[in-house]
Amino acid sequence: MKHIFIALTVLLSFGSMESSAQSFLKKITKTVGKEIENRLTKEVEKLTGKETEGEPQQTRQEQPVSNNTQVTQSDSQITPSKEYRADSINALVPCGPATGKLNGYEWVDMGLPSGTLWATYNVDATKPEQSGKLYAWGEISTKTNYTRETSKYNGKEFHDFSGDAANDIATAKWGKGWRMPTQEEFSELLFYCNWKYVEKGGIKGSEITNPKTNSSIFLPVTGYMDETKRYNTTGNGMYWTSSPHTDQWNTGAHIYQFGGALGEMSISERAYGLAVRPVTDSDINTETPSSGEINGHKWVDLGLPSGIKWATCNIGADAADKIGNHYAWGEVSTYTDDTSGKNEMYGKNCNDISGNSTYDVARAEWGGTWRIPTYNEYKELMENCTFEWTTLGRRSGLKVTSKTNGNYIFLPLSGDFRARTDTYGRPNDIDKSAAYWSSTPINGTHSMNAYAFNIYENRYILLYYNRYCGFSIRPVSD
């Protein structure tokens, strides 16, 4: 086994200190922000009735069967709601300290959507510039010979072991609460932060900084162990995640790999010895008022005329400040780049889908009486509640407070998927905007659209959007 890496990396020019993902994100963010600005300033004043420029035309198809009697929106009823602006208030819950310790080991809050906290140095190190010891994937002790034959999980099907002390060296060495990052968590770190190849204290490494919070960590070069030798100790850094790369051979696992001209997620053979940078989870209390539960999901009574119950968090989230999942309109599987522009409901004349488990992801995922809110139910919310711009946990968003009983829900900025190009599996504008689907479609010549509740900075409005967009879902129940 001689220096073989299954590298899924993008090589940059040696003069560049920024990852390709970051460059792309800036382009997408600029485009999406401009689109929202245009919609909010132009469409509210006058609707042209024309198809959105660049949208593909599709032949009308039979409408799906609906199990409800909600009235659909036709071309003659395309009416955005009034645009509102939310007042600014102090934070509901403090964001918590920027740094801290767990079991005596330091962490830093990198300002990520997940709230994941990153250690300031590696396992077996005492300061950021030290590489620490190198371990084979899924093993909790070092050894003299790193080969496929001595590898514990080479060629074996195995699951993600983050937090399992029997396989996770971070948990085994640093104690409960600390763990090896998953592939998703390392990818999140790289996507929302900038990285530079720098030198600190005479040691080269990857400096990763969140441009919003200015928090940063330094990952030193580490090299890697192959058989009995350690290679590339002065130029490259290679860090394990706990996530296996699943293929027919079961020999790989996901890693973060960097050098003078690259800094991307990659795949390495499990037999190699690599470094580990631990993570831990946020413990900030983000509870909001609740009045009861349906199928294990909390709801709150906002004293609305209809008596509708609003959920306290988004689908795919376990707390009010979590983003959750994104969905194209009328689809019950989560949004991916592969489905962008391929929405099944695009161009179909159809009834309101609220409560129809074939097309309503709230009913499909949460069951019971949960469903996607209709256009009129969002409008009722807007007319009977006050909206205030605030922060809950680590997310900005709208605090929606009942004018009747003072109860509230929190709608976090969750970003969205709008562009039909690769977004690296991440929503755009998570710190500026959010869009929440209603269940109400538009038919006729606008049958590629449906209504959504849109938040952009401190403004909010009901507008129509292409059904292939990936938006959040906040369920309601009767």
Q: CA-CA distances (angstroms) from residue 469 to 80, 139, 334, 396?
A: 18, 42, 11, 22
| DSSP-derived 3-state class of residue 168 | coil
Which pLDDT score is estimated for 96?
Answer: 76
List the chain domain ranges.
59-94+286-477, 99-280
What's residue 86's pLDDT?
A: 86
- pLDDT in the model for residue 284: 83
C-alpha pair distances (Å), 74 with each of 44, 61, 79, 278, 366: 18, 16, 10, 54, 29
What count of residues does the chain have? 478
Provide the CB-side half-sphere exposure for 9 (13 A, CA). Answer: 22
Give tens-digit pLDDT for 231-276: 999 999 999 999 999 888 899 999 999 998 889 999 999 999 999 9
Q: Which DSSP string corresponds to 321-348?
A: T-----B-TT--S---GGGTT--TTTTB
Q: So what's the pLDDT on residue 106? A: 97
Structure confidence at residue 41 (pLDDT): 46
Share the mean pLDDT of the chain.
Answer: 84
Which sign does the torsion angle of CA 32, 347, 460, 340 carry?
negative
CA nearest neighbour of 332 among 317, 308, 316, 348: 316
**Long-range CB contact pairs, 7-15, < 8 A, 24+:** 7/257, 7/266, 7/267, 8/264, 8/265, 8/266, 8/267, 9/257, 9/262, 9/264, 9/265, 9/266, 10/262, 10/264, 11/261, 11/262, 12/261, 12/262, 12/263, 13/261, 14/260, 14/261
CB 259 within 8 A of CB 235: yes
Element (H, E) at 169: helix 169-174
Cβ neighbours for 250, distance < 8 A, ≥ 6 positions apart? 153, 154, 155, 156, 157, 158, 244
Low-confidence ranges of the chain (pLDDT < 70): 1-77, 94, 336-343, 419-424
Per-residue confidence (pLDDT) for residue 458, from 0 to 100: 79
Q: What pLDDT does 176 receive? A: 97
- Specify the pLDDT at position 76: 57
pLDDT at residue 430 in the model: 85
CA–CA separation, 18 vs 36, rounded Å? Answer: 27
